[in-house]
């Protein structure tokens, strides 16, 4: 039987969820308002529905920006996982001198603000002649590695030792154990890190704004800036673009929601 505290808790959670949803609700309502109504009554419900904002966003090449963001995000997340999985396996299962020191050095990447190294990264890319995709994927991968290694290691530690010992007795090497046993069992953790990294890369602006020089390769956050002119901003079109940009991440989260929760709680219960 549910007590009064459980009901109060549910109400508080519902209110908290509403607070987090308010910006998205406002953006959705603003995306279907005419420009004049949005400027005069930004907080009211729309008196007339203006779907032309979405058409204007599409004609503003938002489809191209979506494609560019998708390519950059998929490549970056795949490279992050491919590089992080062997490192996490080594820290979780192998015993070697300096392991904890090296693990600590990797985790220090979590303490470095990504945009604090924007100028040095720009100079490195300029010296190497890198631009557009080649210039931006490297920093995304570098700053995505520490958190991914941390989460995957926590999940790998929880996999029974007997499975690894049985595979070794059958003659499997460490790479075979990693890709044939650990990676399939770590699907919740992989879904968690993939969503976390994809959300950050998808919404990241300063790196994309500085490193991508070709307009045809601009990602979605940079592309949305093109809807803002020197003296006026098409806020209806911008909000329509924001709503479109949110859809892929929402779909990914809803599809992998169960795996994400399992991945975040890995190691909490022994």
Residue-wise pLDDT for 234-258, tens only, equals 777 888 888 888 888 888 878 777 7
Average pLDDT over residues 25-51: 79
Sequence-ordered list of residues with C-beta below 8 angstroms from that of 28, at least 6 positions apart, any chain: 239, 243
CA–CA gap between residue 166 and residue 183 (Å, rounded): 16
CA–CA gap between residue 193 and residue 84 (Å, rounded): 10
Name which of 54-63, 76-85, 201-210 the model is least confident about.
Answer: 54-63
Q: What is the pLDDT of residue 84?
A: 92
C-alpha closest to that of 189 among 109, 126, 263, 248 = 263
CB atoms within 10 A of CB 219: 27
3-class DSSP state for residue 228?
strand
The DSSP call for residue 59 is I
Q: What is the pLDDT of residue 263?
A: 58
Question: At which residue do the structure tokens 């959705």 appear?
Answer: 28
On whether the CB atoms of residues 155 and 263 are closer than 8 A, the answer is yes
Convert 103-137 to b/e letters by CB count within 10 Å (16 or more is b): beebeebeeeebeeebeebeeebeeeebebbebbb
C-alpha closest to that of 91 among 163, 142, 138, 148 = 148
| 140 pLDDT tier (thresholds 50, 70, 90) | very high
Residue 262 has pLDDT above 70, yes or no: no
On whether the CB atoms of residues 157 and 267 are closer than 8 A, the answer is yes
On whether the CB atoms of residues 59 and 237 are closer than 8 A, the answer is no
CA–CA gap between residue 223 and residue 57 (Å, rounded): 10
Sequence-ordered list of residues with C-beta below 8 angstroms from that of 260, at least 6 positions apart, any chain: 188, 191, 192, 195, 253
Domain ranges of the chain: 60-264
CA–CA gap between residue 60 and residue 66 (Å, rounded): 12
| 141 pLDDT tier (thresholds 50, 70, 90) | very high
CATH number of the 60-264 domain: 1.10.3720.10
CB atoms within 10 A of CB 187: 14
| 260 pLDDT tier (thresholds 50, 70, 90) | low
C-alpha closest to that of 117 among 95, 91, 149, 140 = 140
Residue 269 has pLDDT above 50, yes or no: no
Question: At which residue do the structure tokens 């690894």 appear?
Answer: 164
Q: What is the pLDDT of residue 270?
A: 43
> Average pLDDT over the chain, rounded to whole?
82
């Amino acid at each position: 039987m549910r007590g009064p505290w459980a009901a109060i808790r549910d109400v508080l959670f519902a209110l908290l969820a509403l607070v987090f949803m308010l910006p998205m609700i406002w953006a959705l309502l603003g995306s279907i308002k005419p420009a004049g109504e949005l400027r005069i009554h930004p907080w009211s419900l729309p008196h007339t529905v203006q779907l032309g904002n979405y058409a204007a966003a599409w004609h503003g090449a938002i489809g191209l920006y979506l494609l560019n963001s998708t390519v950059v995000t998929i490549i970056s997340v795949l490279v992050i996982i491919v590089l992080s999985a062997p490192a996490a396996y080594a820290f979780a299962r192998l015993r070697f001198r300096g392991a904890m020191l090296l693990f600590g050095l990797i985790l220090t990447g979590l303490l470095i603000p990504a945009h604090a190294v924007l100028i040095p990264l720009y100079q490195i890319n300029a010296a190497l002649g890198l631009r557009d995709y080649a210039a931006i994927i490297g920093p995304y991968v570098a700053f995505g590695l520490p958190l991914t290694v941390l989460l995957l290691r926590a999940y790998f530690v929880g996999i029974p030792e007997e499975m690894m010992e049985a595979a070794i007795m059958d003659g499997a090497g460490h790479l075979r154990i990693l890709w044939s046993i650990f990676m399939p069992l770590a699907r919740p953790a992989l879904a968690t890190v993939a969503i976390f990294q994809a959300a950050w890369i998808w919404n990241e602006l300063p790196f994309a704004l500085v490193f991508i020089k070709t307009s045809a390769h601009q990602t979605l956050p940079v592309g949305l800036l093109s809807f803002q002119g020197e003296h006026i901003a098409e806020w209806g079109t911008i909000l329509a673009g924001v709503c479109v940009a949110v859809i892929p991440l929402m779909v990914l989260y809803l599809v992998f929601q169960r795996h994400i929760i399992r991945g975040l709680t890995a190691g909490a219960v022994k």
